[in-house]
Amino acid sequence: MQYTNFITAIDLGTSRMVGIVGIKNPTGSISIIAHEVENSGTCIRRGCVYNVEETANKVKHLIQKLENKLHGTKIGKVYVGVGGMSLHSIDHTVPHILGEDGIVSENTIDSLYKECQQFRPDMLDVLAAVSPTYYIDNQVVDNPVGVPGNKIEARYKLIVARPSLRSYILSSIRDRAKIEIAGILVSPLAMADVVLTADEKNLGCALIGFGAGVTTLTIYKGGKLEALSVIPLGSHLITKDIMNLRIVETEAERLKCAYGSAIMDKDDDSAIQVSSADGVGLREIPLSDFNNIIEARIGEILENVYARLEETGLKNELGAGVIITGGGATLKNLTEVIRERLKVGVRCSSVRKGIVSSGDIDPVNSEYAVAIGLLMQGTENCAIPQEKSTDPQPTLFGHLEEEEVPKPTAEPKKPKSPKEKKGGLFSGWRTKVDNMTKDLFDGEL
């Protein structure tokens, strides 16, 4: 089966970039037809592209692996998700004096949004404008169209970041990898749309993404985004700390996933075995010492999350509690630590039921949550159109296939006389004299 219409998205993570191809169904769900993962630890740091050339090579390789699963169809463009430590939200208000009739129209709302998109804050790039709240004569109005008044204000949440965040993506993917970008989307918002329910957004919730390079805090209340911030501390720091026990990085990562806990048990006298540095034999490390390192680092990350949450003033407004996601969210006892501190319910995220209708992706696996969210936001066909055979052109003989067109035939040649076959020194001169004589008699008739 050859695909002709699909959406392609790439999530640029600190430890890995995820590529995914899917088809939107009429019911609103998506069918996953291909997905691949590429290591990105050498080219993306804290959610930002820092090695442009290597990122281009990684993306090209990722696209090739996806195309190998598409039965000959080529990918022409991609949606790219962005995060990064400079990403955050700011408030921006667009006022408008209503006209003579004083009634808000659809054109009024559209003009407010267009004016908001033209706003350029100093030293920042606007990636999205979301969650507008409308005020008519200083009164909140949920649906302003058709409401009379003298003045309307639209208060937006702008998602902004350093200009280099976008420019490095364009430089690596569009300019070097030669892959067209259909859109640059905000990864935390895309993930929230497929992980959180409408009730959770209305009641108030905090979505905490524990990534390898950064930790992202996204807060919703009343169905709208209230704040987004990124903490430049990630779970990869825990791996680095474990390496101080004279353990190589790959082994430290494995041990963290297998034995790591956010709570140290002082009474646990068990030990874990690790390979010696020389590769010969094993040595033991007390599990309490091991988890003491983890508890200290995860405690630092969480304290930064709590501080950002306090700044928003919404710490006590989280009716739906806290939802955690990302690779670091699988750390043992992490939910208990957050629940004890914030006194709210805590759950691990998964893609909502009904979002993915088919495909071999496990919705519980948060590794693909951002990529699935990007697919849901995509609208353009990312497949390269297949060439179609052209119909034969009509001719003077009608609409015929190429092999049916009559071709002119050559006149049959007259057999040469014995004299003509016979050559000689004067054969050419004799032929010219015969022709002149024939013309002379023909002219007299």
DSSP states of 185-204 as a string? Answer: EEHHHHHHHHHS-HHHHHH-
Question: Given a cut of 60, is residue 396 above it in pLDDT?
Answer: no
Return the percentage of the chain with pLDDT > 90, whole number: 68
Residue (of 77, 82, 88) closest to 177 by Cα position = 77
Strand ranges in 162-290 using DSSP code E only, listed in sequence order? 180-186, 205-210, 215-221, 224-231, 271-275, 282-286
- Indicate whether 129 pLDDT > 60: yes
Q: Which pLDDT does position 343 carry in this prediction?
A: 94
Q: What phi and psi values does residue 230 have, to the nearest 5 degrees? A: -125, 130
Closest CA to 238 of 219, 255, 220: 255
- The pLDDT value recorded for residue 387 is 61
Query: What is the three-class DSSP state of 399?
Result: coil
Give the pLDDT band (50/70/90) at residue 192: very high
Tens digit of pLDDT for each residue in 15-63? 899 999 999 999 889 999 999 999 988 899 888 998 999 999 999 999 9
Can you give the pTM of this predicted structure?
Answer: 0.83
The single-letter DSSP state of residue 47 is T
Q: What is the per-residue pLDDT for 170? A: 95
What secondary structure letter does DSSP report for 23?
E
**Is residue 428 within a helix (H) or strand (E), and if so which, with residue range?**
helix 427-444
CB 48 within 8 A of CB 54: no
Any idea which of 69-83, 200-214, 321-335, 425-439 has the lowest mean pLDDT? 425-439
Q: How much is the average pLDDT of 339-363?
A: 90
What gap in Å lies between CA 67 and CA 46, rounded to an integer?
Answer: 28
Is residue 189's pLDDT more than 50?
yes
pLDDT of residue 36: 94
- Residue 358's pLDDT band (boundaries 50, 70, 90)? confident
Which residues, 6+ apart, have CB-to-CB distance to 37 below 8 Å?
Answer: 16, 17, 18, 19, 367
pLDDT at 420 over 50: no
For residue 222, give Cα distances in angstroms to 197, 199, 202, 225, 312: 12, 9, 4, 8, 15
- pLDDT confidence band for 176 (50 / 70 / 90): very high
pLDDT at 398 (0 to 100) = 38
pLDDT in the model for residue 1: 65
pLDDT at 101: 78
Question: Tens digit of pLDDT for each residue in 270-301?
Answer: 999 887 766 667 889 999 999 999 999 999 99
* Closest of 12, 78, 67 to residue 35, by C-alpha: 67
Average pLDDT rounded to a whole number, residues 337-343: 95
Mean pLDDT of 350-373: 86
- pLDDT exceeds 50 at position 122: yes
Confidence check: pLDDT of 168 > 60: yes
**All domains of the chain, ordered by start, with CATH?**
1-86+164-196+352-386 (3.30.420.40), 88-161 (3.30.1490.110), 198-349 (3.30.420.40)
